[in-house]
Amino acid sequence: MSRSERERDVAVIGVGMHPYGKWGRSFVEYGVVAARAALADAGITLDDVQFIAGGDTMRNGYQGYVAGATFAQALGWTGVPVSSAYGACASGAMAIQAARAQILAGFCDVALVVGADTAPQGFFGPAPGERWNDPDWLRFRVLGATNPTYFGLYARRRMELHGATLDDFAAVKVKNSRHGAQNPNARYRKEFTLEEISASPVVADPLRLVDICATSDGAAAVVLSSRDYARSRDVDAPVRVIGVSTVTPTYPNTYVDMPDIGTDSAAAVDPPALSYRDSIAAAAYEEAGAGPDDVSFAEVYDLSTALELDWYENIGLCGPGEAEKLLREGDTTLGGRVPVNPSGGLACFGEAIPAQAIAQLCEVTWQLRGTAGARQVENARVGLAINQGLFGHGSCIIATR
Amino acid sequence: MTAKPEVVEVEGWFGSDSDGAYLVGSRCTACGSYFFPKQTFACRNPRCGSTELDEVPLSRRGRVWSSTTNHFAPPPPYPAREPFEPYTVVAVELPAERMVVLGHLVRDADPAALRIGDEVEVVIEPFYESGDATHTVWKWRPVP
Ligand SMILES: [Zn+2]
């Protein structure tokens, strides 16, 4: 399908990344590399940028809390306004939404969005100190409820309710590792075999180490512009963002979400018709005037292999309990009906938290332009990228060309 | 050797009476919504917002929503036993409250035998030992 331009579309005129890894350098450096790559890709200079939106990082000191200004200073102050947004793994979507709102409100024509992180080793822990009133600290202290604990709960539930098997989870890993092996920005570019996966140690039963995404250093940046600006630059059929969702849950959210120790109660009010994850995609579809049938490929937040299967259902690629069938029939593999995570996903990148939603839009843009090389999705018309940040942050972006 | 005194790991989160252990939550006096951990200043139901909340014992029994066993020591501040012992986190649906509450599975239960929908009850059990005390916490125990 082709979609005519609409009032609320913004153009993606440049994208760029810093490759993911464990580089051990400052997140600011990665962000500058990604930003410069995006500006070069757009064929513009910093002087053309009228707004800079940063995705914050919480583990790199004050510079990380004011990421917009940090990147603006590192690129060289030009006097433009900045914003800095934190929404955990959804920080990048918040930054994209801030830039989009500035453009659609007419405050600017060109905005640069940057997210970058330098990540610690191993499991994410809470911020240091003793904080008996902080739910994120308490879940580690009283329960040892690490992030993989929650992924394990979801995975186990999926196995019992929908008949997912360890082989299915392994198949997700094999698929994504095959996709990511073709991606120069990926950190892990090795194709996994079923034997290697079954030899991996169990972390949070039933999930193994290779089922769970690592934490990485990396960065991503995009240049967004008004449609008029893109036309004035003679950008031929630019990729357009047609829907962005940054919704929070609706009370009562009775699904166990990080960092809950107890969910909301539905004693007084029935839960909403749509689960929180379903509602993240639904809001983006509504804005885009599109539905799951329009989606040619998707980038979903595979914090674990099992969670990727949940997302198939949350974004409407299939009904509840049908994700395993979709996977087993090869529909979500490159060459299939609706490839999922053609980039290789978090399985091959690891997460660099504030860069994540921006990196997803980079991949969506390369796919829609038809420049994704060996991992190109055929006939890529509409791409959807979704993720969720802890503490109730939705992130979904739909783009087309 | 005398047993170390027991201290609760989190003050005011659980208690016990002649019927056994219970979790302490709060209940909005206006709309009836429950909260755990306790909500002390205002109801989170967006159509309510009452500031009148009572401390109440929660249902002592619930049904397994899911569970998972951790095989690696989590980062601080978790007081991991030395040597590290795997531990199982169970998510339990409480019937009256219509909410899910996490907790550890008791140490002597078999995590592999747990199924969604199994009935479990809350108990108070040792969590870890410090120099001068045994710290206790709430856990879930399968109901035979
Ligand atoms: Zn209330």
pLDDT digits (tens, 9 = 90+) for B8-51: 989 999 999 999 999 999 999 999 999 999 998 999 999 998 99
pLDDT at A4 over 90: no
Centroid of ligand 1 to alpha carbon of B49 (angstroms)? 6
B95: tokens are 């019937």
Radius of gyration of chain A (CA): 20
Mean pLDDT for A167-175 is: 98
* A53 and A95 inside one domain: yes
Give the residue carrying structure tokens 């790199």.
A60
A112 vs B83, residue with greater confidence: A112
What is the per-residue pLDDT for A3?
65
Interval A308-335: pLDDT, tens = 999 999 999 999 999 999 999 999 999 9
The answer to whether the beta carbons of residues B66 and A206 sit under 8 Å apart is: no
User: What are the backbone dihedrals phi and psi of residue B61, each rounded to the nearest 5 degrees, phi first?
Assistant: -120, 150
Q: What's chain A's average pLDDT?
A: 96
B47 touches chain A (CB under 8 A): yes
pLDDT > 90 in chain A, percent: 92
Mean pLDDT for A23-31 is: 97
CA distance A216 to A350: 5
A227: tokens are 């449609």
Mean pLDDT for A69-88 is: 98
Residue A37's domain comprises 10-122+218-238
CA distance A84 to A67: 6
A268 neighbourhood in chain B, CB within 8 Å: 28, 31-33, 45, 48
With respect to residue A205, please indicate whether it lies within any of the assigned structural domains.
no
Q: Please state, in angstroms and as integers, the Cα–Cα distance from residue A80 to each residue in A76, A111, A222, B142, following that order.
A: 11, 10, 17, 61
Mean pLDDT for A108-119 is: 97
B42 touches chain A (CB under 8 A): no
Q: How confident is the model at residue B2 (pLDDT cuts 50, 70, 90)?
A: low
Name the A residues in 125-144 with CB < 8 Å from any B CB.
Answer: 125-126, 130, 132, 135, 137-144
SS3 assignment, position B112 = helix
B16 touches chain A (CB under 8 A): no
Mean pLDDT for A174-195 is: 96
Q: What's chain B's average pLDDT?
A: 94
Residue among A256, A299, A270 at smallest CA distance from A392: A256
Instruction: Please list the residues that pair with A52 across neighbouring strands.
Output: A82, A112
SS3 assignment, position B140 = strand
With respect to residue A17, please indicate whether it lies within any of the assigned structural domains.
yes
Mean pLDDT for A40-64 is: 97
Among the three residues A238, A267, A302, which one is the final residue of a domain in this structure?
A238
Least confident range of A169-183, A322-336, B74-88:
B74-88
* A317 and A246 inside one domain: yes
A122: nearest CB among B75, B96, B137: B75
pLDDT at B1 over 60: no
With respect to residue A304, please indicate whether it lies within any of the assigned structural domains.
yes
Nearest CA in chain B to A261: B102
CA distance A106 to B136: 58
Mean pLDDT for B127-131 is: 90
Instruction: Please list the residues that pair with A16 across neighbouring strands.
Output: A221
With respect to residue A18, please indicate whether it lies within any of the assigned structural domains.
yes
What is the per-residue pLDDT for B80?
84
* A39 and A89 inside one domain: yes
Mean pLDDT for B53-73 is: 97
With respect to residue A227, please indicate whether it lies within any of the assigned structural domains.
yes
pLDDT > 90 in chain B, percent: 84
Name the B residues in 117-136 with CB < 8 Å from any A CB.
Answer: none
What is the per-residue pLDDT for A130?
87
* A229 and A255 inside one domain: no
Mean pLDDT for A90-94 is: 98
What is the per-residue pLDDT for A136?
86
List, as own/partner pairs, every contact residues A316-323 make where C-beta atoms lie below 8 angstroms and the sequence separation is at least 24, other chains included: A316/A281, A316/A285, A316/A291, A316/A292, A317/A292, A320/A162, A321/A161, A321/A162, A321/A163, A323/A162, A323/A164
Among the three residues A175, A208, A238, which one is the final residue of a domain in this structure?
A238
* A396 and A342 inside one domain: yes
With respect to residue A114, please indicate whether it lies within any of the assigned structural domains.
yes
Residue among A3, A7, A31, A1 at smallest CA distance from A17: A31
A313: tokens are 């259902």
Least confident range of A183-192, A275-284, B75-84:
B75-84
pLDDT at A80 over 70: yes
**Count of structural domains, chain A:** 2
Mean pLDDT for A158-169 is: 97
Residue A130 neighbours by CB distance under 10 Å: 8
* A14 and A104 inside one domain: yes
A265 neighbourhood in chain B, CB within 8 Å: 33-35, 97-99
The answer to whether the beta carbons of residues B49 and A281 sit under 8 Å apart is: no
* A157 and A246 inside one domain: yes
A156 neighbourhood in chain B, CB within 8 Å: 66-68
Least confident range of A66-75, A279-288, B123-132:
B123-132
Residue among B9, B32, B46, B52 at smallest CA distance from B99: B32
A141 neighbourhood in chain B, CB within 8 Å: 77-79
A252 vs A123, residue with greater confidence: A252
* A36 and A113 inside one domain: yes
Q: What is the 3-state secondary structure (H, E, C) of chain A?
A: CCCCCCCCCEEEEEEEEEEEECCCCCHHHHHHHHHHHHHHHHCCCHHHCCEEEEECCCCCCHHHHCHHHHHHHHHCCCCCCEEEECECECHHHHHHHHHHHHHHCCCCCEEEEEEEECCCCCCCCCCCCCCCCCHHHHHHHHHCCCHHHHHHHHHHHHHHHHCCCHHHHHHHHHHHHHHHCCCCCCCCCCCCCHHHHHCCCEEECCEEHHHECCECEEEEEEEEECHHHHHHCCCCCCEEEEEEECCCCCCCCCCCCCCCCECCCCCCCCCCCCCHHHHHHHHHHHHHCCCHHHCCEEEECCCEHHHHHHHHHHCCCCCCCCHHHHHHCCCCCCCCCCCECCCCHHHHHCECHHHHHHHHHHHHHHHHHCCCHHHCCCCCCEEEEEEEECCCEEEEEEEEC
Q: How confident is the model at residue A394 (pLDDT cuts 50, 70, 90)?
A: very high
The answer to whether the beta carbons of residues A133 and B40 sit under 8 Å apart is: no
B74 touches chain A (CB under 8 A): yes
Q: What is the pTM of this model?
A: 0.96
Domains of chain B, residue spans = 6-142
CA distance B136 to A259: 22
* A29 and A155 inside one domain: no
With respect to residue A39, please indicate whether it lies within any of the assigned structural domains.
yes
A251 touches chain B (CB under 8 A): yes
Spatial strand order in the sheet of A82-85: A82-85, A51-55, A110-117, A217-225, A10-21, A239-245, A393-400, A382-389, A297-300
Taking CB atoms and an 8 Å limit, are A142 and B25 in contact across chains?
no
B130 neighbourhood in chain A, CB within 8 Å: none
Return the CATH number at A84: 3.40.47.10
